[in-house]
Structure 1
Amino acid sequence: VARRAGSAAAAPSLPAVISSEESGRRDWRAVTTVHRGPDGWLTGLRPLQAGSERRERRVARDWSALDTQVAVGPTLEAELRRASVSGDVSAVRQLVKVLWAWLQDGWRLTGTEAEGRFFCTPANLVLSGGDLRPLDASWRLSQPLEDDVLLVRSLRAFAGRLLASGSEHPWAPDISPDSLTQTLCSMVGVPVTSGVTDVVARLESELQVVVQGGDAGAEALAYARNLERGRSQFVSLGGPSRGYREALSASTRLAQSLHEREGQVEWLEASLRSRDVQVAELTRTVGSLRSSASFKIGRFFTWPLRSLVGGVRRLALSAIPHGYLAKAQRLLAKVAQDR
């Protein structure tokens, strides 16, 4: 915000707001000013390099329209976010219908107004008097596009910004930007196909390379990253980061799972200690029995009978054919069990 220093009478008239663009090549950047005019607030663009227009490939920016009237009202993105935070899907649907109706009226626009619709994302549209007006109308794309492509481009940009910010919304925490775009477009009956998404990704990668700089390799990489960011909000290639709400939810689930596993480990350790005590007691009991005189006397007198039984058993098993040996062993075990 600009402020006067010193005497107000001697100071020149300064804009109320001065905003500079920090990213992009210098020849595409401008300084945005907002100042009061006779009929209200006016906004203007002052390029960092002299000239009234900048054009490269299909992208253009026109700085000739200075001191335009500022649209009064909230941005469409602010209204969509407010409805999303409150979980009011009906309000979201009504706002998407307003955007879709405005884009479908594009046939009424001619020249630079029609070429600027590609840049009319919810962050760059103001709801003023029941209508939508672009906040920055200096950007243009000299490529005729269908209305459904413009809708997908606009809502896909909003979906990516919403999920990247970690803001509250009524959909699944791990929903992808492309899935959220499909959800929003379905509210007005517009299908989102892979072909439409591909067109949007290619145009956005071209715009990125033109404004930021780069060669054909940089454009191909920007295109691949654009598609990957659409498939997941948690990608590592420069895409949106995991929001606070999703990270907190995942942390809570992991903490609960860890607490349950710790309880299971403690129960298993207690069971193992109890079994160890029982095994030790049984070992001592067996040891005391084997060392007793009665056990030794019994083993001595039963040795001839045990030897005879063992010999008869081996003889009987040797007389059984090899293929029936396993069956005979199971039969003997069953007879012994029944007895």
Structure 2
Amino acid sequence: MPNLIRSGGEMFNWSDRVGRSNPLLHHLIAELAGPGRTVLVAGPHPADLVAALDADGAEVTWVLRSLTDAEQAATTHPTITIRSGAFGKIDLTGGYDLVVATDGIGRLNSAEGDQLSADELFQLLAGAVRPGGALVLMHDNQLGAHHTVRLDPGARFRDSAAWSVDVDGPASRAQLTARLTASGLAPAGVWAAFPEPADPAVLVGGAALGDAASPLRSWLQTALAHAYTTAFRGRPVLGDPRELVARALRAGAEETVAGGWLVIAAAPGAEDRLRVRDDVLVADVNGVYAVDADGPRMLTPADTPLEFDGLRRVQVLQPTAGCLLEDRLLALCAAGDVRGLRQEIAGYEAWLGTGPISGPEALADLSGITVTGDGLAVLFAHWAPVEPVSAQIALVRALWQFAVRLLTWGRPHPWPITASAADLAAILVGMAGRSLADEELRAAIDLQVVIDGAEFGLDPAGQQAHRLALRAVQPGTAPVDVTGYHQLVEALWRQRYQASHLLAMMEWTERIIQSRDAELSRMDWELQLLRRGWGGRGLMLAKRAYKMVRK
């Protein structure tokens, strides 16, 4: 393999191989690369990303510490120069137009070589950037929500960096930019990456980062909740990360719990050319797009199908200042304000209308609808029905989903003793002046299963399991998407509360029955006593005579 260069310190019988590339990172890197440019890929990266850089005409050099990975990469990509070994032993003289380190610096050190400090690694990365070039770096946030809620026993024995502890690396965005500046680079764009640094779905930077008064706040809450739902669906966690991120977002401290920080740093001579103007970048089923107060701007459309099982893909994203309808209903439920709930639900029912609905409002969650001064508006939606959906089914689906969240999230509401989510949904639908039939509820649940199947890529077996789980939701059921240990404990407490309440009712009923039996026994004894005496016999004869006279 002539394109493989061994520099020493390679790790034998070890692999750092990763999966497919992230669309957000792919887009940003592709914008900086191009024909004739020299690119250094530092550390393990998705093979399709490196291959795409090579296909675009860039001269690519890929540094890997695993000899097994390096040999396979050299065989698979013969036009790419592969260097294997410890990062500190690799000759990087000459410089590169672009240095890519979106895997961070944690896997640049080799177990077979000297352990370089974070500052030394930053110096090596910065030194590899030639004047006019750029560095794209992702740095993991050790205080991020993905670490805080992590529940993965034995992970330290599987972690590729288990033999070292990063105690001298940057621990905040400010420290990271300061280290890069000290290395001779000028940060041209800095984003907080959510939910995880290896696979970000939302990048927040610029004026939108930490601005609690930004009109993007409500939309960011919905977008981040969706990103964490997708990332942590079916994974065991200590607690629901969406709650932690939502509280941080309301406080304007989202960068503190971000998964990591993505930095594009420019070498001298490239500061103005690389100045990034997009504050928020998002990747979802529609592709990669930038978001500002005026709405989304598509950057790279997705190549996924436009239709899926009766749904068509749409992009509804209107960052509008206002309160989410779901948050308002949750607040009214917590306050026990039944009158306010009835007014809000009636307003939502009137907004849906009475005829069939073909737009995204038919499938929009209550968390994707905002309450503005002009009324309700769809804030966030990915899907719309191919065939129109009746207003009744749309109303039932939205309110049933809200009932599921009330029960599985353990939120307080005015009807704590309900048998299931279906019963609670019937109460909520009744507030809109409508009744709920069993076939309508089944149709609403099936519609929700189709939406989740399109959003999360569920196969038929997964959809059926999801359908059964949704139909079985009752007080004490854990969340059906992101199940955390905290939520499981809360669900267990709710089950015990329900059981203790039922036991108390049974004991009370038994005491009432015993009391009535005792009273009846006493009255029967008194009656028998009276009947055995002469006075009692006389009264009985008089009673019979009175009845005969009346006849």
Give the alignment's TM-score, normalised by structure 1.
Answer: 0.58
Q: What's the CA shift for 1:225?
A: 2.1
The answer to whether 1:121 aligns with 2:327 is no
Tell whether the 8 Å contact from 1:166 to 1:246 is kept in structure 2 after alignment: no
Q: What's the CA shift for 1:127?
A: 0.9
Deviations 1:54-95 (A, max 9, x none): 2122011134x7xx6422211110111111122211111110
Pairing partner for 1:197 from 435, 441, 447: 441
Query: Taking structure 1 as reference, are residues 192 and 18 closer, same or farther at Cα in structure 2, changes over 3 Å only?
Result: same
Output the CA distance in 1 between the equivalents of 2:438 and 2:326: 25
Tell whether the 8 Å contact from 2:287 to 2:298 is kept in structure 1 after alignment: yes
SS of alignment partner, residue 205 of structure 2: coil
Pairing partner for 1:42 from 285, 295, 302: 295
- Of 41-50 and 189-198, more deviation after overlay is shown by 41-50
Which structure 2 residue ranges, 5 or more long, are not aligned? Answer: 1-203, 207-262, 504-551
The answer to whether 1:150 aligns with 2:419 is no
Output the CA distance in 2 between the equivalents of 1:92 and 1:180: 13
The answer to whether 1:100 aligns with 2:349 is yes
Query: Taking structure 1 as reference, are residues 142 and 171 closer, same or farther at Cα in structure 2, changes over 3 Å only?
Result: same
SS of alignment partner, residue 429 of structure 2: helix
Q: What's the CA shift for 1:191?
A: 0.7
Deviations 1:79-119 (A, max 9, x none): 11111122211111110011000111656x7xxxx232332
Output the CA distance in 2 between the equivalents of 1:18 and 1:135: 17
The answer to whether 1:16 aligns with 2:260 is no
Give 1 or 2: higher strand fraction. 2
The answer to whether 1:87 aligns with 2:339 is no
The equivalent residue for 2:428 is 184
The answer to whether 1:172 aligns with 2:416 is yes
The answer to whether 1:207 aligns with 2:451 is yes
Give 1 or 2: higher helix fraction. 1
Which structure 1 residue ranges, 5 or more long, are not aligned? Answer: 22-27, 258-339
Deviations 1:190-224 (A, max 9, x none): 11111001111222223333333344333333322
Counterpart code for 2:462 = A
- RMSD between superposed Cα atoms in Å: 3.5
Structure possessing the higher radius of gyration over alpha carbons: 1
Output the CA distance in 1 between the equivalents of 2:323 and 2:479: 32
Output the CA distance in 2 between the equivalents of 1:211 and 1:197: 21
SS of alignment partner, residue 91 of structure 1: helix
Output the CA distance in 1 between the equivalents of 2:470 and 2:288: 28
The equivalent residue for 1:311 is none
SS of alignment partner, residue 189 of structure 1: coil
Output the CA distance in 2 between the equivalents of 1:243 and 1:106: 43
Tell whether the 8 Å contact from 2:311 to 2:386 is kept in structure 1 after alignment: yes
Query: Taking structure 1 as reference, are residues 198 and 158 closer, same or farther at Cα in structure 2, changes over 3 Å only?
Result: same
Percent identity reads 20
The equivalent residue for 2:384 is 140
